[in-house]
Amino acid sequence: MSELLSTIFPLESAIPDRFKIHEPVTQREYLVGGELKIWNGNLNPVFSPVFIKEGESYTQKVIGSTPLLTSKESLDALDAAVKAYDLGHGEWPTLSVTQRIEHVERFLVAMRISRDEVVKLLMWEIGKSLKDSEKEFDRTCDYISDTVKALKDLDRNSAKLIEEQGYMAQIRRVPLGVALCMGPFNYPLNETFTTLIPALIMGNTVVFKPAKYGVLLIRPLIEAFRSSFPPGVINIIYGRGRETVGALMETGKIDVFAFIGTNKGANDLKRLHPKPHRLKAILGLDAKNPAIVLPDADLDNAVNECIMGSLSFNGQRCTALKILFVHTRIVDAFIEKFKAGILKLKPGMPWDEGVNLTPLPEPGKTDYLADLVRDAKQYGAKVMNKMGGDSLNSFFYPALLYPVNDKMKVYAEEQFGPVIPIVPFTKDEEAINYVVNSNFGQQVSIFGSDSKHVAKFMDAFVNQVGRINLNTQSQRGPDSFPFNGRKDSAEGTLSIADALRVFSIRTIVATKNTDDNIQIISNIIRNRESAFLSTDYIF
């Protein structure tokens, strides 16, 4: 075993005190109808990707357990959400925008208090570094306050009456109904909240099931949810997806399905809904974003961006660069710089200062990555970097594979981990055809300096993917930018402003512009007789 691997996992005594988990967290609470219920049934152990070294052996750290609810409890949660929505007549869907904002702001204040606890659990549950865990928490808080601002803007623009072709009307956005929100394990807080918060603030009621890993970190926020929203508006359930969420979809009572995960998972769940036309879906799914490095690219920049793009959080981002097409004229120099760049990445535990490479949370993941490497070697690829593919327990050192071709699994499969395939190319069409024929269509990155050449690639991709990045890695942010995808990569568009739209629908009150109708409308507005038809707006 290399020195790196033999020292990668810590002794219990080497973990800094402020990051230690002294006692596993046993969670029995779940939230239904405004009540913290206690579950006395089976619990699901929560394994950390961190193993603890004891002499020559390793033990995977168990940091707690969460309720393994059944379909009965999840249906109770759904009933609570259905009751709170009350066919659109409930307190929450009819509350004024100002009041809904107040509830969300109350939640945000309470959420901020839990920062340290949530950050620590992010590190232990999914192996995210301290810096990135803090960033995820803070980005989520910013997302919530920016959502409030965006809703105020939206509401201001809807406050006026419009006149058109002899009609007068007011158009406002109203909720869709009961939403089921499920997030991914790689951004269990941020990505989940980018659907959950817009769903709530627009007046929908929600059943929320945390991701498969990154579950315990929601616990410090349950009380904040409970105390910030009226009963039944937000319900939180735990357990196996098929048992809990499948049962919800089968009822046909879910109106909005917000899911970040695999397209297979999304298809399986959507299929269970008896009235698919009634189900509105907002999905963030698989991706295999390529980088295309042209011969005249600024090589240092291209390498830096591709390293960050393929290895931030060990490549476990839906937006990660998952295959690199590098022109044959520069591929050797590119690989040399890339290898040097990987060596600068610091392996370690999430709390280690300046750490970049950490253990992976998915069970069996290192075996899967090793299999991808084995398969690529069989078809002619080599691991180009020192220690590439070395692994122990949940840790896998990045493997730079070259030359990669279409016979290899890693050419088409989304590895979602630290394996970086490099495909050499000479003709532009080789890279263009990869994107055109891919099942995925989230983003692409182009590296080059000749504007005419770059423009050719841009135009070839505008109808293939949702975002084309020039001389920069693929990414979701800034959160005000639209985030979407084509083919199997997404359904619907998210951004701070777009999310408010996807969780709502426009309703219009319209009348012919007669004196009598104008009089009625004026009375309603002047006497504040309707919550909907109103010219009040929020400052």
Write out the residues near ligand G3H by the rule CB under 6 A.
186-187, 191, 317-319, 475-477
Closer Cβ to ligand G3H, 179 or 318, answer by number: 318
Least separation, in Å, of the C-beta of 126 and ligand G3H?
Answer: 12
Q: How many CA atoms lie less than 13 Å away from 387 in the CB half-sphere?
A: 20
User: In which residue are the tokens 């007046």 written?
Assistant: 203
In this structure, the number of other CB atoms found within 10 A of the CB of residue 436 comes to 13
- Is 143 or 461 the residue whose CB approaches ligand G3H more closely? 143
For ligand G3H, the closer of residues 187 and 411 by Cβ is 187
Q: Is the previous residue joined to 361 through a cis bond, with omega within 30 degrees of 0?
A: no
Terminal C-alpha separation, the chain: 63
Supply the minimum distance, in Å, between the C-beta of residue 473 and ligand G3H.
8
- Minimum CB separation from ligand G3H for residue 441, in Å? 15
Yes or no: say if 362 and 443 are a contact pair by the CB < 8 Å rule. no
The residue among 191 and 488 lying less far from ligand G3H, judged by its C-beta, is 191
Nearer to ligand G3H, 134 or 428 (CB): 134
Nearer to ligand G3H, 166 or 477 (CB): 477
Which of 183/341 has CB closer to ligand G3H? Answer: 183
Q: Decide whether 318 or 323 has the Cβ nearer to ligand G3H.
A: 318
How far apart, in whole angstroms, are the C-alpha atoms of residue 441 and residue 286? 9
Nearer to ligand G3H, 10 or 485 (CB): 485
Closest separation between CB of residue 483 and ligand G3H, Å? 7
- Of 379, 369, 375, the closest CA to residue 419 belongs to 369
User: What SS3 class is residue 321?
Assistant: strand
Q: How far is the CB of 299 from ligand G3H (least distance, A)?
A: 23
- Taking the C-alpha atoms of residue 433 and residue 442, their distance in angstroms, rounded to an integer, is 15
The phi and psi torsions of 50 (rounded to 5 degrees) equal -85, 125
Beta strands in 417-503 (DSSP E): 419-425, 440-441, 443-447, 467-470, 486-487, 490-491
3-state secondary structure of 177: coil
CB 344 within 8 A of CB 313: no
- Amino acid (one-letter) located at 313: F
Minimum CB distance to ligand G3H smaller for 235 or for 319: 319
Parallel, antiparallel, or unpaired for β 43-54 and 57-67?
A: antiparallel
Query: Which residue, 273 or 317, is less far from ligand G3H as judged by CB?
Result: 317
Residue type at position 122: L
Question: Are residues 369 and 139 in contact, defined by beta-carbon separation less than 8 angstroms?
Answer: no
What ranges make up the beta strands (E) of 216-320?
Answer: 234-236, 256-260, 280-284, 289-293
User: In terms of Cα–Cα distance, which of 39, 17, 18 is closest to 28?
Assistant: 39
Shortest distance, CB of residue 88 to ligand G3H, whole angstroms?
A: 31
Cβ at position 517, least distance to ligand G3H in Å: 48
Q: For 392-427, where are the alpha helices, taking DSSP H only?
A: 409-412
Q: For residues 101 and 105, give the distance between their C-alpha atoms in angstroms, rounded to a whole number.
A: 6
Q: Indicate the residue among 84 and 306 with the shorter CB distance to ligand G3H.
A: 306
- Smallest gap from Cβ 324 to ligand G3H, in A, equals 17
**Distance, CA of 80 to CA of 101 (rounded, Å):** 22
Enter the tokens of residue 296. Answer: 């005249």
Q: Regarding beta strands 280-284 and 382-383, do their DSSP bridges make them parallel or antiparallel, or are they unpaired?
A: unpaired
Q: Tokens 């070294």 appear where?
A: 53
Q: State the minimum distance, in angstroms, from the CB of residue 477 to ligand G3H.
A: 5
The tokens for 113 are 């208090």
